[in-house]
Structure 1
Amino acid sequence: MPPSFFIAMKSTISLILNIFVRCARVCDASYIGETGRRFGFRLGEHRKDTERQEEKKFTRSERKQSESQINKSAITYHAMQENHVIDWENSKVLDRENHLLKRQIKEAIWIRRSGAVLNRDEGAHRLSHIYDQLLCLCIVAVPITSDTDITPESFLSLQEQVQTLLVAFQSQQQTIEHLERRIEEVETENLELKLSDDGAARASVGFSASLSTTVALGDSQTIMFDTIISNDGNGYDSRHGHFTAPITGLYAFSVTVMCHGSESNLHTSIVKDGQIIGKCFANGYSSDNGSKLVVVQLQAGQMVWVEHAVDPSGYKIYGDEYSSFSGFLVQAY
């Protein structure tokens, strides 16, 4: 059975793809990740990065610098260290998901279920280990089809597996319900602690981040404003470009985007959990910039981010701190 890499991708629709690897010895390792770029574009990035390192000849100092760059890509590092050849042509789609949070949960499930993975973390979403037993049982369970020969012994075994699965599921449901109640209690206690005697909220939540470098954007790509100016409450994640509300309340968000030279118009959107709540436009024929301010209610845990609207891929947003994303808590509930 050939070893494989699995990658979760996002375009207009999100994909999970399978990248095969040929090697001299058995390798069951896999790589799983999610991105805002299209399948072909992201796959091409992995391929170019790997092949560039394979073909390049280095001086001693260049080799040391190259090893630092390789370490940034788990796929390239594995291919170089193990001398594995990646079978790019046989890559295939395994799953699809539009919603950002659902896609990140699927990514975490794939990582957990795959066992031996090259990933250096458990994904963008931290999946609780209380689901491990349930995921393990889902892998073991055998689907019954019209072509399957069912003996009394195998049927009894399947019944026992189903019963065990149901018991585990009910146990997990009870644990989840208990944790949800406890989360609500903690959130209430936390908010009460942040309120002064006269009822004025003392909670401090706000962030401001800018874009350091010019970026070519794909369709519906999340824009990651990587230079953090302020981040009270630690709600903004520069790694993924989204803000997560630490407490329930009324929030204000603003975005400013600048076109790169006179190449193209630039359409961007402020998005709340997959729903567009504001749009921003910049005229690319005069290095124009556009701004948008929205005020919106958020429940604790909901996310807001800025993404490129449906335009031809490759349009660029100007960096050098000209483009920015900010937000703050107006009133806690």
Structure 2
Amino acid sequence: MYFLLAAIFSLQVWLPEVARCQDVPAGITQSLMVLIQEETTIRHRLEQDLAKLAQDMTELNNLQNNVTCGCPGRHPPVAFSAVLTHDIASLGTQQQVPFDKVITNLGNAYDNRHGEFRAPYDGTYEFSVSLYMRAARWAGLEIMRDGQAVSKVRTGDNSQYSMAGTTVTLELKAGQDIWVQHIAESDSNAIDGAMFPTFSGHLIQM
């Protein structure tokens, strides 16, 4: 379109010069003047089309921002879920529990080697943990934020298998760590695995 405008502009410059030549017949001069007028009309329409195109592009960009949130520095989702696959027979007081099998780890913020989640962004997060115990013993776990317990769960029964869970919503700063550990109040140093105990979390909003 820009090449067409350049060509029309060149024609607009050249035609009057030709029309002013004394030896150009009157009929040709008249035809050239008609062409100049048509060029002016076409150029005006093209300018209107370009303005409309610019407006359409602005509207499309606004629509794209609305669809994709349009948030400055928008980040990918953060969510993880991990399970404990094996029994732990000798769990120390306040020992960290490594939920070893990762089911989901969007954003790669969960480290299954240590069972820790590190917040990649400032925001509101939700975490949950579940605990499974065989009959005749009970134990407890607590969700920790930088060394401070923020939620606890315990379960046990003299004659039945039992399971319990807890969920907590937290405001975190980027770099803060969340993990699960054995509570001091447990009367058992063992917890059962078999993928029953779970540790999950996700970013709710920034």
Structure 1 length normalisation: TM-score?
0.39
Q: Read off the aligned partner of 1:280 and give its amino acid letter.
A: V
What corresponds to 2:141 in structure 1? 268
Matched, 1:293 2:146: no
SS at structure 1 position matched to 2:130: strand
What corresponds to 2:152 in structure 1? 279
> CA, structure 1 residues 202+300, in 2 after alignment: closer, same or farther (shift >3 Å)?
closer
Trace 1:229-244 onto structure 2 (pairs within 5 A).
229-244=103-118
SS at structure 1 position matched to 2:114: coil
| Cα distance in 2 for residues equivalent to 1:258 and 1:252 | 21
What corresponds to 2:99 in structure 1? 225
Q: Verify the 8 A CA contact 2:139 2:186 in the aligned structure 1.
A: no
Q: Verify the 8 A CA contact 2:119 2:177 in the aligned structure 1.
A: yes
Q: Verify the 8 A CA contact 2:139 2:187 in the aligned structure 1.
A: no
What corresponds to 2:37 in structure 1? none
| Cα distance in 2 for residues equivalent to 1:225 and 1:197 | 36
Return 5+ residue gaps in structure 2 as ranges: 1-67
Matched, 1:204 2:64: no
- Structure possessing the higher relative contact order (Cα contacts under 8 Å, 6 or more residues apart): 2
Q: Read off the aligned partner of 1:255 and give its amino acid letter.
A: V
| Cα distance in 2 for residues equivalent to 1:253 and 1:292 | 8
Trace 1:37-76 onto structure 2 (pairs within 5 A).
none
> CA, structure 1 residues 255+277, in 2 after alignment: closer, same or farther (shift >3 Å)?
same
Q: Read off the aligned partner of 2:124 and give its amino acid letter.
A: L
Cα offsets for 1:122-170 (capped at 9, x unmatched): xxxxxxxxxxxxxxxxxxxxxxxxxxxxxxxxxxxxxxxxxxxxxxxxx
| Cα distance in 2 for residues equivalent to 1:312 and 1:248 | 33
Q: Read off the aligned partner of 1:278 and give its amino acid letter.
A: S
Q: What displacement does 1:238 show?
A: 0.6
Q: What displacement does 1:196 show?
A: 3.5
| Cα distance in 1 for residues equivalent to 2:202 and 2:132 | 22
Q: Read off the aligned partner of 1:238 and give its amino acid letter.
A: N
What corresponds to 2:191 in structure 1? 317
| Cα distance in 2 for residues equivalent to 1:198 and 1:231 | 23
What corresponds to 2:30 in structure 1? none
Q: CA RMSD for the aligned pairs?
A: 1.9
Q: What displacement does 1:287 show?
A: 1.5
Q: Verify the 8 A CA contact 1:268 1:306 in the aligned structure 2.
A: yes
> CA, structure 1 residues 242+229, in 2 after alignment: closer, same or farther (shift >3 Å)?
same
SS at structure 2 position matched to 1:319: coil
Return 5+ residue gaps in structure 1 as ranges: 1-194
| Cα distance in 2 for residues equivalent to 1:309 and 1:233 | 29
Say which one has the larger Rg: 2
Q: Verify the 8 A CA contact 1:206 1:327 in the aligned structure 2.
A: yes
Q: What displacement does 1:313 show?
A: 7.4
SS at structure 1 position matched to 2:137: coil
> CA, structure 1 residues 198+273, in 2 after alignment: closer, same or farther (shift >3 Å)?
closer
Q: Percent identity?
A: 35
Q: Read off the aligned partner of 1:265 and give its amino acid letter.
A: W
SS at structure 2 position matched to 1:316: coil
Q: What displacement does 1:311 show?
A: 3.9
What corresponds to 1:119 in structure 2? none
